[in-house]
Structure 1
């Protein structure tokens, strides 16, 4: 059995890694967070927060910090990008909060990361935050684990959590299932000052314009001072790419025939950042001995369900609970953790793929989508989301 005085090694200092460190610290378990970058930070812009992750914020003690930084949108809207007409919407007001017990919001990714980082730094006696530490391999020992870094040095710990994202080196040790799946979809991201956005487009909503093999998402950030934009289209030109400069001409070729209102938002952006969207098939084996996976390292998913960060923080809280319940037997704790999590996260992974097909429907499929979603009542929408938002 591992001693509580020996720290758990956490590879990766993103949202999932910091969430795991904080969840463990709240149960008296020390950790060392090993981040390969020169500092702790997040690249990207807006993310959406469902009621399920607000329960995790309460468990982690960061609810107040999140509520100060988040924007509580009035509704989720799906629009037909070609016709410019509404398809369906989900109201997020009082009935939604009463149904799920928590709100729905959007937040800048960096602000969520900052809230977690502040909470971790406040628990410095239990959490060591270490930068410029790239873990290249892992091995189990008789009484713990060893992480080998890029310079050949070795770091020992009671156990190890791989929270190192889509291209996880820890996953290669645990599952050895090759590279991620390239989806054939590309996301262009940008943030606009809200003062540049036409007043008629300053919607307090998480809005998705669905078009043939394309979609555009926009919503406000930082007290309505910014607008987050994500434009997605199909492309087989790229195998990988992350935070790379986007080609405006390529984007406009895909979106030139959409309704003038969303097109006007695209035209306001002078610089886009491009991500090639990848995921993996769900697996049930997240752990090997005293090593386990968390977040995108365990279950990378397409962004279409807006649940990546939410699932990572659910993982973090569940994992800490299982470690405490197993009285420090990390091997047993990690088995219990993956058993509780893999079907839920696998469902989100597959649902995200399905939603991509729904958003990007064309021709008759587009017409059928619009017909089937027309006239949905709020309660019908809430029932369809209950399995996700009532959990975990």
Structure 2
């Protein structure tokens, strides 16, 4: 597949950017990935790879590497933060494989990032440039010109046949395409950590499951990662003001104080982690137009997703697959391919965004409204809870 005489440029070496770069490079496109950071390290904790995302990565040949590091939980167990009682569950494991033909994996974000980086570095037509920040974007004579700044304050212009902005919620490419909106703080902060699984309280060491604890103004998710050696923990709390910076160290005592009335097993789990990082959660409705000429957006740069449906990374992986497909179908007309890519992705991104916002409301309901939510969870049962999301997990790139 030839897009032009110049390489495709992907801004951002995160999960979406690397998946896009791999998807293009495996089709014969020369790709240059720009990353503003000088070290290719992925911050954060765990990420959930539901079947709609895992099938894309498996098709890229990453299945064996992922299977060594990922965990495939048997179920989600939903509990009440305050009492610890079991509300219901969601069937994962074999049920997901049989229903959707692909696994529901959970994995440490750094492990996934390493697997993607290793695959990228193995391809001769894929180049990684770190310490490069996109500053401008224009088109001349049928090609895109990307203005970049280096970590040493140098400047350069890189010609490109295609530009993909995969540089996250605070994208530099998005305003260059005419969308100057600022992401909106949604009143939540996510506290994230990982601990050695052997150091967790006994009740959390052996069960091959994801835990979801629901309560007013807060919820907690935990699951094993790194081949089962570690436990990923995320606590989402209401917060009046956003924190400065992308991720900030969290005060452990502050978190424990917020959960002082939680059930003892949950309090014990949270107390096990000595260090936390905190992210303020931002949202932005999917842009009415995220492609222009030979440039487009992908993942959170196009449609940031709150984490209440665990689909931010999955949507970026889906985007990468569809983008490569549309470009392969129309290699001589990049603008037309990007228009079709955007048209295919926007309705789904909007539906996932709304689903995440809806879950944010449902997760944090106070009594008595929480009683109705819990009754629905029990009535549906573990397999019925999955069936509600056939539209999400059953997605395929064809």
Q: How high is the TM-score relative to the length of structure 2?
A: 0.95
Alignment counterpart, residue 173 of structure 2, candidates 164, 170, 173 = 170
- The 1:243–1:325 alpha-carbon spacing in structure 2 relative to 1, beyond 3 Å, is same
Work out whether 1:144 is the aligned partner of 2:147.
Answer: no
Deviation at 1:93, TM superposition (A): 3.2
Deviation at 1:248, TM superposition (A): 2.1
Preserved contact between residue 4 and residue 29 of structure 1 (Cα < 8 Å): no
Using the alignment, how far apart are the partners of 1:240 and 1:90 within structure 2? 36
Deviation at 1:36, TM superposition (A): 1.0
Aligned match of 1:343: 347
Aligned match of 2:164: 161
Deviation at 1:146, TM superposition (A): 0.9
Using the alignment, how far apart are the partners of 1:306 and 1:123 within structure 2? 30
Alignment counterpart, residue 314 of structure 2, candidates 287, 310, 319 = 310
**Long gaps (5+) in structure 2:** none
Name the SS of the counterpart of 1:18 in structure 2: helix
Aligned match of 1:197: 200
Aligned match of 1:127: 126
- The 1:134–1:344 alpha-carbon spacing in structure 2 relative to 1, beyond 3 Å, is same
Deviation at 1:4, TM superposition (A): 4.2
Using the alignment, how far apart are the partners of 1:190 and 1:93 within structure 2? 24
Equivalent residues in 2 for 1:210-359, closer than 5 Å? 210-238=214-242, 240-359=244-363
Name the SS of the counterpart of 2:189 in structure 1: strand
Preserved contact between residue 107 and residue 221 of structure 1 (Cα < 8 Å): yes
**Long gaps (5+) in structure 1:** none
Give me the CA root mean square deviation. Answer: 1.5
Preserved contact between residue 2 and residue 29 of structure 2 (Cα < 8 Å): no
Instruction: State which drifts further: 199-208 or 5-14.
Output: 199-208
Work out whether 1:385 is the aligned partner of 2:384.
Answer: no
Deviations for 1:172-207, whole angstroms, at most 9, x for unmatched residues? 122423210101100111111112112222232111
Preserved contact between residue 41 and residue 110 of structure 1 (Cα < 8 Å): yes
Aligned match of 1:99: 99
Aligned match of 1:69: 69
Deviation at 1:156, TM superposition (A): 0.8
Preserved contact between residue 283 and residue 346 of structure 1 (Cα < 8 Å): no
Aligned match of 1:60: 60
Deviation at 1:51, TM superposition (A): 0.7
Using the alignment, how far apart are the partners of 1:198 and 1:263 within structure 2? 10
Alignment counterpart, residue 190 of structure 2, candidates 187, 192, 196 = 187
Preserved contact between residue 2 and residue 144 of structure 1 (Cα < 8 Å): no
